Structure 1
């Protein structure tokens, strides 16, 4: 029996080394000779874990860990290996449909799990969670030591299942325990309405860029009958981005035919993504802030460079790189940074952000009025309306 176990071990070890050898060979561009010292070290580690580690492990577990380690070694927070569960959750997030509690986390401080806002009508919203709440625990898991992806995976789950959050509320200096029951969350990415108190101005909020966002925008514009409005406010604040093609589709309504963004790969090859020719031709203002990122910056950058609208707010986040999702076996995948993007004026905004045309900061203690229901606008939205009024005089 023991002999058979060792035969199985060496069989699996041979497969594992073969896989890693292929990876190493491809990495060095097809050379047959690989770094034998590193290969020997890797084989020795596998042997020690299989032979001497206290807990039982499997070869698939070790391959999973090695794969994750290869990607983690890049030091790129946007490149990640995802197991089957994480991959499923990412696909659900991209599609805007998932089981969870309805919390959007802030990007501002990666060391904290700060509630950016609860999604309207979701368990988190109905339980009274507020922007700025800091998540300290998710069930029994200390949330102060995990990253956002891990936190999201812990809060997601089948509708009807329960999760308990412990949050710290800064404005009251209190710690709250909030029991929640997960629901099926379907998040519309585009909302539109007449701006309260300004019946001749349209207000469009885009919360993220999913594969259907451009179609959603077209539907909202049609339902609103956008032709009856004199001008628009496009709100991209707290929009963390999403699908590249969705951003190009949305930008097509706000810039004339021509380049929206240039995609540059690691060989310097450039692909031009151009407007699809849906330009509305109406005066408009775009609201941006420090959490407008990625695809939101593609839209904002195109508008600024092409000079079709005015950006109001503060400098954007500065994520000017593109990730591609590569499906792997057994439902796993790898999200890898494969290109950078440049604005129509060939500006690289990564880690720099986009400066607004008119800088307006939210006052301390003031909350941004996203999709306002009355005329009590935040200072940025007030300024946007003022700029728009000047445009349509």
Structure 2
């Protein structure tokens, strides 16, 4: 890898960040460009980056050399004309995660690492097949979350404007806005259309929440990880150390609705739970692998169960896949989202930016989870109605025995603590609720 890990983001979240400004990228911007590249130079700069770094050296069966000739033979009288050509050029790759951002869009994407943001609190992606805008997950306790937006919702309209043919950069200009103003989303869910009027707000995000729970199996540490931001590792470390002092018997790690984030953050947190073994392999265009491994510095070796759902994406899938494949944890819940791509985000000479897919990742056992996701060891399905009741109307039941997925996780954890089961022994169970 020629890009430092602090600048690597994972599939769905890369699009998310440029769309609704959800979390920090850890990018070091050039700030004001030292000089303004000519329009043609900018087009060639983008072409060169893709030529050197794009994950598929066939460029998705596109003659990339012919593309350069086509677009450099054009005359450009303005940056805007160059921007249009760059987007046309990148569109030929048919990769919604490799995308160009104007200076304003790039600036909007670079959110302060403090964890504060302005928006409605959703992460979205563009479906690779249908090209529709899809909600990966609403961020907990944000306006979108509270009003009832769910994972896998398809955004059909923004303030009445159809999203057909709209890319994520166009969506950001419509969804973003000043705190207190409103935006209306028309979404499709299970074949039915719903409309949501959402008030934008300034949002402060704490990626980790935890508590010690008194249960029938003794003290249990319950940790919810909402996203893999720059400070998630620090907060996770504090949570584990505090719960260890309280002498918990085991842990339940809740990754439901976690859309992902920074690659280094997922690796950092995995090392807190794993003493040995591979965490993730990233595979570049030459098929070369770079492996991230545990370093023998786990903060606890106590039994662990992880809860996942269809809103658990990207970095969440790296963490849960590493814990599952290394038989460190049992996964309870539903199939995860399925995003296994890594982007590098680059500032360009005129202050604009480029996100380019540079790698895919595999779990330790070699599974490519892109588009499929990770299957839980113990399946516990919730209907959309059940999920809305639990997450919106009866939030006090989340992480309690009235939460079916938590209740099953606690049951599984009890067996692990008692030494009655192993992760592989639970794979035959299938709970439908």
> Would you say the 8 A contact 1:259–1:274 is kept in 2?
yes
Residue deviations 1:35-70 (CA, integer Å, cap 9, x gap): 7998478646x47xxxxxxxxxx5100111122222
Counterpart of 1:387 in structure 2 is: 412
Residue deviations 1:105-153 (CA, integer Å, cap 9, x gap): 5889973665944632x4556xx51244876654464457645554444
> Would you say the 8 A contact 1:260–1:273 is kept in 2?
yes
> Would you say the 8 A contact 1:118–1:130 is kept in 2?
no
Displacement of 1:243 after TM fit?
0.6
Counterpart of 2:347 in structure 1 is: 327
Name the SS for the 2:343 alignment partner. strand
Comparing both chains, which one has the higher relative contact order based on Cα–Cα distances under 8 Å and sequence gaps of 6 or more? 2
Comparing 343-352 and 228-237, the one that deviates more:
343-352
Task: Report 1:1-393 matches (<5 A).
Answer: 16-17=39-40, 39=69, 43=73, 46=75, 59-92=78-111, 96-104=115-123, 111=132, 116-117=137-138, 119-120=140-141, 122-124=142-144, 129-132=147-150, 138-139=158-159, 141-142=161-162, 146-147=166-167, 150-159=170-179, 162-165=181-184, 178=197, 180=199, 182-195=200-213, 200-225=219-244, 227-276=246-295, 277-363=297-383, 365-367=385-387, 369=390, 373-374=396-397, 375-393=400-418
Relative distance call for 1:107 and 1:317 in structure 2 (3 A) is: farther
Counterpart of 1:50 in structure 2 is: none
Relative distance call for 1:25 and 1:332 in structure 2 (3 A) is: closer
Name the SS for the 1:293 alignment partner. coil
Q: What is the alpha-carbon distance in structure 1 between the residues aligned to residue 46 and residue 147 of structure 2?
A: 46
Displacement of 1:257 after TM fit?
2.8
Displacement of 1:158 after TM fit?
3.9
Asked which structure has the greater CA Rg, the reply is: 1
> Would you say the 8 A contact 1:115–1:134 is kept in 2?
no
TM-score by length of 2: 0.70
Q: What is the alpha-carbon distance in structure 2 between the residues aligned to residue 358 and residue 334 of structure 1?
A: 40
Query: Which ranges in structure 2 are unaligned for 5 or more consecutive residues?
Result: 1-36, 53-63, 419-433
Query: Which ranges in structure 1 are unaligned for 5 or more consecutive residues?
Result: 1-13, 48-57
Displacement of 1:343 after TM fit?
1.6
Q: What is the alpha-carbon distance in structure 2 between the residues aligned to residue 354 and residue 77 of structure 1?
A: 22
Name the SS for the 1:248 alignment partner. helix
Relative distance call for 1:97 and 1:144 in structure 2 (3 A) is: farther
Relative distance call for 1:267 and 1:292 in structure 2 (3 A) is: same
TM-score by length of 1: 0.77
